[in-house]
């Protein structure tokens, strides 16, 4: 379920017409379905069944505080990667004791903030980080709970930019060094070993890489246990793919069953860190056609959203479906859907069959994850507004930026 469906040729999000949202709030506009977000989170929770577990939403996928508030209301934990994300969890009323802190370059200030907040766990990614965390915790007179992010060196078979579990990736502690890392943590008076984690990549559509990674991790867990280093939890990361076009996605129940089969009767609490699969399909970017430019080889539909609003097509050659908000019976033509930014990489979709005219509205689907949160002000373009729809009610959850706000924190030099 995405929360988006067509009724009498018109696109709706839950019970609200996308056209009316565009009229009320302007474009470009991100719209999300609360019901779809809740349903995806509950599907994860249900797949993990009776085994003790915690779903920690990887909030880098979409960190709007209203969205975090909705997930916190379901009992979600959060996977964070910065002090800024920790602040957002706090602002949203999330439970800080359900926060796991991932990331390859945590600063001392961020470590201190997270220790003061009393988070569940630090997922450490290097020997240097272990040393620094031990020092910061000692200086604060506390003991930091730690999991080692192990890089299992498995090929997740996804786009190279979003593959993270190979030994040439910067992420995690190399499998062969992990035992030493645990020994170092166990020997430190200000660190407490509580878990092991991995995250091998994003937009995965196959269970096999998860199985490969988990079986390597479990061998390590068993070895540690024989050395009296006992773990409480196993964090399997995120990465579950969604359907953008025609991908065969993972069946979550089958995925969980496969994970449980590997784990057998070992008694770990399970943590997962899904991001994209919770919010990806639950959002769309609405945009207006500003101009139609017929060309010799192809036509351009120049829209008011651009690569600064949605960078995935430019950055990863990602394909996202583009549909008219109101269907037309006119004949279709072939378009490149492009934005106003001065870059040839500024496209949202290439070679799309569309029946459109100037001023029509388009929806770019599956734009709930890694879309708004990766947006920028390039070309001095204010970032878009965001709306969350709940049944027949639309909540404005982020105002469109004003032009003045673009330079509000800059200053002129004394002349």
Report the distance separating Cα 42 and Cα 36, nearest Å: 10
Whole-number CA gyration radius for the chain? 23
Cβ nearer to ligand LLP, comparing 25 with 372: 372
Instruction: State the helix-helix crossing angle for 127-140 and 108-117, rounded to 10 degrees.
Output: 50
Which of 28/280 has CB closer to ligand LLP? 280
- Looking at the Cβ atoms of 216 and 276, the one nearer to ligand LLP is 276
Considering only CA atoms, which of 399, 378, 381 is closest in space to residue 65?
A: 399
| 25 vs 101 by CB, closer to ligand LLP | 101
221 is an active site residue: no
Residue with smaller CB distance to ligand LLP, 202 or 287:
202
- Per this entry, what is the length of the chain? 415
SS3 of 292-315: the string is EECCCCCEEEEECCCCCCCCHHHH
Nearest CB to ligand LLP, comparing residues 129 and 273: 273
**Which residues bind to ligand LLP, rule: CB under 6 A?**
58, 60-61, 79, 102, 162, 199, 202-203, 237-240, 273-277, 312, 316, 370
State the nearest-atom distance from the C-beta of 413 to ligand LLP, in Å: 36
Alpha-carbon distance 221 to 219, whole Å?
6
Helix, strand, coil share (%) of the chain residues, nearest 5: 35, 25, 40
Among candidate residues 56, 121, 342, 373, the one labeled active-site is: 342
Least separation in angstroms between residue 374's CB and ligand LLP is: 6
Count Cβ neighbours within 10 Å for each residue of 190-221 and write b for 16 or more, e otherwise.
Answer: bbbbbbbbbbbbbbbbebebbbbbbebbbebb
The stretches of 273-385 forming alpha helices (DSSP H) are: 276-279, 312-316
Helix, strand or coil for residue 98?
helix
When the beta carbons of 233 and 276 are compared against ligand LLP, the nearer one is 276
User: Using CA atoms, how far apart are residues 348 and 350, in angstroms rounded to an integer?
Assistant: 7
Give the span between the Cα atoms of 336 and 349, in whole angstroms: 6
> In angstroms, what CA-CA distances link 32 with 29, 264, 392?
10, 38, 13
Kindly tell me which of 6 and 159 has the beta carbon lying closer to ligand LLP.
159
CA–chain centroid gap for 79, Å, is 10
Q: For residues 326 and 329, give the distance between their C-alpha atoms in angstroms, rounded to a whole number.
A: 10
Give the SS3 label for residue 210: helix
**Which of 64, 54, 107 has its CA nearest to residue 367?**
64
The residues annotated with a catalytic role in the active site are: 342
């Amino acid at each position: 379920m995405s929360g988006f469906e067509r009724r009498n040729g018109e696109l709706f999000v839950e019970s609200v017409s996308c056209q009316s949202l565009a009229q009320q709030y302007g474009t470009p506009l991100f719209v999300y379905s609360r019901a779809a977000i809740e349903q995806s989170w509950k599907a994860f929770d249900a797949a993990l069944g009776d085994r003790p577990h915690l779903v920690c939403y990887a909030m880098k996928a979409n960190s709007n505080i209203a969205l975090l508030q909705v997930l916190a209301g379901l009992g979600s934990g959060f996977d964070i990667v910065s002090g800024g994300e920790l602040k957002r969890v706090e602002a949203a009323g999330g439970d800080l004791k359900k926060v796991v802190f991932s990331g390859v370059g945590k600063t001392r200030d961020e470590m201190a903030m997270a220790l003061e907040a009393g988070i569940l766990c630090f997922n450490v990614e290097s020997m240097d980080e272990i040393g620094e965390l031990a020092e910061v915790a000692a200086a604060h007179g506390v003991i930091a709970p730690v999991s080692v992010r192990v890089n299992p060196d498995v090929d997740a078979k996804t786009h190279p930019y979003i593959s993270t579990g190979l030994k040439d990736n910067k992420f995690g502690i190399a499998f062969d060094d992990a035992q030493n890392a645990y020994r170092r943590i166990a020997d430190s008076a200000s660190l407490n070993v509580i878990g092991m984690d991995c995250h091998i990549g994003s937009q995965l559509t196959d269970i096999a890489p998860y199985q490969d990674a988990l079986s390597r991790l479990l061998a390590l867990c068993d070895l540690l246990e024989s050395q009296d280093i006992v773990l409480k939890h196993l964090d399997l990361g995120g990465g579950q793919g969604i359907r953008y076009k025609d991908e065969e996605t993972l069946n979550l129940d089958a995925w969980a069953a496969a994970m449980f089969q590997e784990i057998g009767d070992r008694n770990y609490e399970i943590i997962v860190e899904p991001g994209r699969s919770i919010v990806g399909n639950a959002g769309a970017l609405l945009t207006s056609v500003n101009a139609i430019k017929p060309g010799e080889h192809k036509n351009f539909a120049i829209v008011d959203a651009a690569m600064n609003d949605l960078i995935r097509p430019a950055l990863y050659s990602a394909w996202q479906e583009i549909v008219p908000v109101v269907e037309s019976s006119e004949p279709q033509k072939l378009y490149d859907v492009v934005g106003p930014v001065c870059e040839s990489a500024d496209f949202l979709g290439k070679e799309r069959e569309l029946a459109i005219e100037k001023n029509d509205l388009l929806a770019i689907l599956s734009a709930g994850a890694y879309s708004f949160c990766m947006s920028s002000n390039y070309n001095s373009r204010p970032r878009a507004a965001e709306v969350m729809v709940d049944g027949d009610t639309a909540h404005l959850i982020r105002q469109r930026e004003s032009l003045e706000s673009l330079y509000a924190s800059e200053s002129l030099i004394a002349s």
